[in-house]
Amino acid sequence: MRRETEAGGPHAGVAEGSRPGGPETEGLGAREALAPDDTAPDERWSAVLVAGAPELSARLLAEVFGPLLALAPAERALLVRTLDAWLECGGSVGRAAVRLRCHRNTVFNRLRRLERLTSRSLSHPCELVETVLALEALRWSAERG
């Protein structure tokens, strides 16, 4: 099992403005076909990676979000929506709270609950990457039915 989440987990931010790119992606083949919603692949690398490896994505989804998927749909949707808002707000709990129309402590509590369920800390970069990829895998699986 992964290490326990530290108290300041959701306080850490996601680096804004960082975008991978370059020849590393040449092996993906028809990259445009993998990008959802006509998004250029370099705008959503995580989505391209998930779509390009469906078997691995399914395993990642089960491993990282397994306990989350076991929750009631409304509860699961609330935690996923909170994570998504926090990520879209660059890791800002305050801005995510405004977007979600709730108190910032509510956002903290939801993110901590998500960390406990996934055994992943949002303040550890590698674990955050796993969480983001699992989120993309969840979206991808929902789109595929």
pLDDT in tens, 62-72: 999 999 999 99
Distance between CA atoms of 96 and 28, rounded to whole angstroms? 33
**pLDDT the model gives residue 26:** 34
**pLDDT the model gives residue 53:** 82
**pLDDT the model gives residue 38:** 53
CATH code matching the domain that covers 28-144, chosen among 3.40.50.2300, 3.40.50.12160, 1.10.10.2840, 1.10.3720.10 = 1.10.10.2840
| pLDDT > 90 in the chain, percent | 57
Distance between CA atoms of 138 and 80, rounded to whole angstroms? 10
**pLDDT the model gives residue 62:** 96
Distance between CA atoms of 131 and 114, rounded to whole angstroms? 10
59 token code pair: 């395993």
**pLDDT the model gives residue 28:** 34
Distance between CA atoms of 8 and 21, rounded to whole angstroms? 31
Among candidates 41, 21, 44, 16, which has minimal Cα distance to 31? 41
Q: Is the pTM of this model over 0.75?
A: no
Distance of CA 3 to the CA centre of its chain: 19
Residue numbers in the chain where pLDDT is lower than 50? 1-36
**pLDDT the model gives residue 41:** 53
61 CB-near residues (< 8 Å, 6+ apart): 69, 134, 137, 138, 141
**pLDDT the model gives residue 64:** 96
Distance between CA atoms of 127 and 117, rounded to whole angstroms? 13
